[in-house]
Structure formats: C-alpha cells, structure tokens
Structure 1
Amino acid sequence: MISPEKQLYIRNMESRTMGAWPSFQTIIDDGWVLRFAKGYTKRANSVNPIFPSTDNISEKIFRCETQYSQLGLPCVFKLTKIASPFNLEEFLDKRGYSKIDETSVQEVSLLNDFNSKSRLKMDYFTAVNETWLKHYCHMNRVSEQNQLNLKGILTNIVTPAFYVLLYNKNECVACGLGVQDGIFIGLFDIVVAKNHRNQGIGTQLIQYLLELGKNNGAQKAYLQVMLNNPAALHLYEKLGFQEQYRYWYRKK
C-alpha cells in the first residue's frame, strides 16, 4: 500500500517530468494525460493515467487508441503504482499490452559538494542551439526526421535549462541537459561519445549539471534510468542517487 504522501510525490514528479520534456499537443481525458510529439520518445507520446478517473475503463482505452491511431502512432501507456484506476493493468493485459522498459526514477540532494579533481573543458547554453543539437544527435545516432522532432520538444521547454558540452582538447566527448523546476533540476539526454566511455567523463558531465542547478537555486536533482542499463545505474549510485519509484510502459 502506497502512503498518501508517496502518492502525492509520484504525481508531482510525473507532472514535473512532463513539463521538463514537453510534448507538442496534450489532451486531458478524465484524469488521463495524452501526449503527442510525432512519435519521438515514448515519454512524449504516451497516456499518463496519474489523476483520478471515473469513466468506463474499456471505453477510455478505446478512445486513447483512436486518438493515437488517427495520428499514425501506437497507443502506449506510461504507468506507475498510482495509475488510475488501480486495476487498469488488468484491462491492458486483456487487450494485449505488454510491459516494457521498466525505469527507475532517482533523486539526490544537492547539499553535497560535487566538485571533480580532474576536469574537462565545459561549455553550456541556456537554450537549444545547433551546436549542442549536432553533437547530441551524432553521439546518440538520432535520425534526421527525429532531429526536427527533438528540436521541437527542446524548444518547448519553458523553465530554465542548461545544455552542456564537454571537450577533450577540441573534441566534444559528452552532452547533457538539465531542466530546472523550482528546487528541482532534472537530468536528461546524458550521452558520452562511444570511444570515450569508461573514463569518468559521465561523472564529470553530471557533476557539471548538478553544479549549474545548485548555483541556480536547485536543492535536489532527479533522473530516469532504465533498469537494463547497469553501467548508468552504477554511475548514479556512486553519485548518491537513490531510487524513489519506478515507471514502465504498456504497449501492444
């Protein structure tokens, strides 16, 4: 049984992450938040049942499937333990939705000092630009079509953001994004160039992002990491991040 305090925390965090990673269009259907961003990332193209709902579940699922189908998108549900109604997954099971991509939502206090002894050169921007976008898309192999969609999502961020690049001499070796919302800063799009991994560069990148957030008034940082990524899980554990809850997707 999840306490009311934990339910509120999860609901607030899920709302916060939707603001940090905005979609292009949003529909609210009886407590369910339907997000659409031309198919780029499941986070921005999924049903988020985080608020209480009362309508017939089967009818609501059908409405969601129709909405996404009309846009040529699969209907995907992003679920947590507070998904409403409580028996939603039973209905999704019966309709052929499989559980995929379980993810850990983690948090760390920024009261600690995150300075690194060995530092690479850092550059950052407070709005998305072609330099950051070029390096990120190259390292993460983002297709040309999805580059436009990614830029659209990033352009829609309205809270303070930090687009960080790390350089080894003149070569860009890592990219990351921090999106701040009050006392929270969320970390997104963390990537290190393939031939520079396992050298502590990811640690330095995250330390820079945490410092930028702390200097801008953030007191806590959060991130989302898939459970099938042991290297990232180990890195975040070393930096003091602790799991707060999990989410997963249901997709036909």
Structure 2
Amino acid sequence: MAEADQSIAQPSLPQVRRLEAVSFRAWPAASVHYDGSWQVRLTGGHPSKRVNCVVALDRSDTRDIRLRLEKAQRKFLSYGREMVFRETPLAPPQVVDVLREDAWHRFDESIVMVLDLANLGEHDVMDHLPSQDIGRFVDASLTLQNEDPALKPALAELITNIKPPSGLFLVEVPGNGPVAGVICVHDNDLTGLLQLAVSESHRGQGVGFELSYAALRWARLRGAKMAWLQVQADNGAALALYRKLGFQEAYRYCYWRPEGVP
C-alpha cells in the first residue's frame, strides 16, 4: 500500500465536504436516500462502490448507529446488493467503532488528490479534444478496463446522468481499438478526472499523462481553478502519473463490509 503523504496532517473538513459533494455530482447514484446526515447511495444496474454505499457526512450525527446500519442493510438487500459503508474523514469515529465491534472488515483504501490548476505545468504533448459520443466512450472504457460488456447500458446511463458539463477523452488507433480514455467533469471552479484507463499494450508510454493533461487544460480553459481525482492507494503507476501532473493528497477514504461478505 502506498505511503501516506507526510505533508498531510489533518484533512480540512470544509474541503472534504466540498470534494465529497462534487464527487457525488460527478458520479451520480441512481437512487439517493437520507437518514439524518447519512447518505444511502444505490444503483441497481452498476456495481461501482461509489454509487452503492452508505456515507456519513456529519461527525456529530451518532444517534442509533446500529439501528440505522440495519435499516440501510435492508435497503441494500432490496436492491440485491451487499451493503458497504464508505468511511471518509466526515464519518463519526463512533460509527467506525461500531463497525469494528461488529466485526466488519475494512478494505479498498483510496486517496483523494487535488491540484491547483494555476500550477499545471507546460508540457509539449499532443492536444486532444473531448467527445460527446457516450456510446463510443462506454464501449472503449469497458474494453480498456476489461469489464463485462453487459454493463454498457448501466455505465451509459450513469455517464448520461452526470449533470455538470463533461468531456469524454479518448485515444484510439484506427483498426486497433481504444488506447486510453478519461472523463473530465467541470463543476463551477472544480474539475474531476474519472475512469482513466490505458490499454496494457500502451502503458508506460506517456499516453495516460498526455490524455489527462489535455483534459485538465480543457477544464482550465473553461474556468476551472482546481482539479480533483480519486485513486486506489495501492495503484503505484497511477499515483506516479498524478504526482507528475502535480496532484497532492487531500484525504483518504476506505470501505467496510459486514463479516462473512467476501
């Protein structure tokens, strides 16, 4: 697992709240329910944990923890999904204590990184313009990430439901299929990079850097001031790419699942 950025002491909770809110808009769940400040996010057609989890958004909201977890579990079961709890710096420590006491398992730590776009360096790389062809992008993304083609309708619906303006960036080789892809979501003065993927045959050749840089430059020209992204903490290659672009760690999150769930 990647080491924590030693320059990060305690995350800024106002920044965490803002980045969480913008990430919800950038990757929207089909169904969102609130139990106090807990957000229950469910998407029947797509398995992404970010759109199928419970997130606590207020550290002071600690009432009836076990009762609310059980209530959320029933809602997940009605969707045919196993419940997961997403722990961010906004989660009350008391909730995490209950998860530990009840033998839930912690897994999949991710890092949220940010970049002041005023500090985006100048690089001599090929420019790329975004596409609005969702079907083409979805086909490419599923191929690049080696995912089930049956997920196409759900992924297409998820991308269609993104409310802020977004650009779908692709690199393709005629007759040889997609090489790389990324989504750039521009939300007021923030922009997010999502779903970056590079084909195995083109990794380590700078294609991911080039495409990400083009997307960030596109967002900056549209008025974005800060970029953000989420990356798994053990993805060393992606972390190296993002740090080369200038991204730094803002905070981390992880998931919890009940005992007995693989």
| TM-score, scaled to structure 1 | 0.92
**Gap regions ≥5 residues in structure 2:** 1-7
1:133 equivalenced with 2:138 (yes/no)? yes
Equivalent position of 2:113 in the other structure? 106
Equivalent position of 2:89 in the other structure? 81
d(CA) in 2 for partners of 1:176 and 1:5? 27
Closer, same or farther in 2 for the Cα pair 1:5/1:81, shift >3 Å? Answer: closer
Q: Which secondary structure state, in structure 2, belongs to the residue aligned with residue 104 of structure 1?
A: strand
Closer, same or farther in 2 for the Cα pair 1:3/1:29, shift >3 Å? Answer: farther
Q: Would you say the 8 A contact 1:175–1:191 is kept in 2?
A: yes
| TM-score, scaled to structure 2 | 0.88
Please give the root-mean-square deviation of Cα atoms over the aligned residues, in Å: 2.0
2:56 to 46, 49, 58: 49
d(CA) in 1 for partners of 2:49 and 2:153? 16
2:186 to 171, 177, 180: 180
d(CA) in 2 for partners of 1:137 and 1:235? 21
1:246 equivalenced with 2:216 (yes/no)? no
CA deviation profile, 1:71-121 (whole Å, cap 9, x unmatched): 11111011112203x2111111222311111111000111135443242x6
Deviation at 1:205, TM superposition (A): 0.9
Q: Which secondary structure state, in structure 2, belongs to the residue aligned with residue 203 of structure 1?
A: helix
Q: Would you say the 8 A contact 1:77–1:251 is kept in 2?
A: yes
d(CA) in 1 for partners of 2:146 and 2:9? 41
CA deviation profile, 1:193-250 (whole Å, cap 9, x unmatched): 1101100111101101101100110011011111110111111111110001101101
Closer, same or farther in 2 for the Cα pair 1:139/1:5, shift >3 Å? Answer: closer
Closer, same or farther in 2 for the Cα pair 1:5/1:199, shift >3 Å? Answer: closer
Deviation at 1:4, TM superposition (A): 10
Residues 120-199 of structure 1 mapped to structure 2, 5 A cutoff: 122-125=128-131, 127-168=132-173, 171=176, 172-199=178-205
d(CA) in 1 for partners of 2:157 and 2:203? 29
Q: Which secondary structure state, in structure 2, belongs to the residue aligned with residue 124 of structure 1?
A: coil
Deviation at 1:145, TM superposition (A): 2.9
Q: Would you say the 8 A contact 2:169–2:215 is kept in 1?
A: yes
**Gap regions ≥5 residues in structure 1:** none
Q: What is the identity percentage for the equivalent residue pairs of Structure 1 and Structure 2?
A: 27
Deviation at 1:53, TM superposition (A): 2.1
Letter in 2 for 1:32: W
Equivalent residues, number? 248
Equivalent position of 1:200 in the other structure? 206
Equivalent position of 2:5 in the other structure? none
d(CA) in 2 for partners of 1:113 and 1:245? 20
d(CA) in 2 for partners of 1:10 and 1:113? 22
Q: Would you say the 8 A contact 2:57–2:90 is kept in 1?
A: yes
d(CA) in 2 for partners of 1:159 and 1:7? 23
Residues 58-69 of structure 1 mapped to structure 2, 5 A cutoff: 58-69=66-77
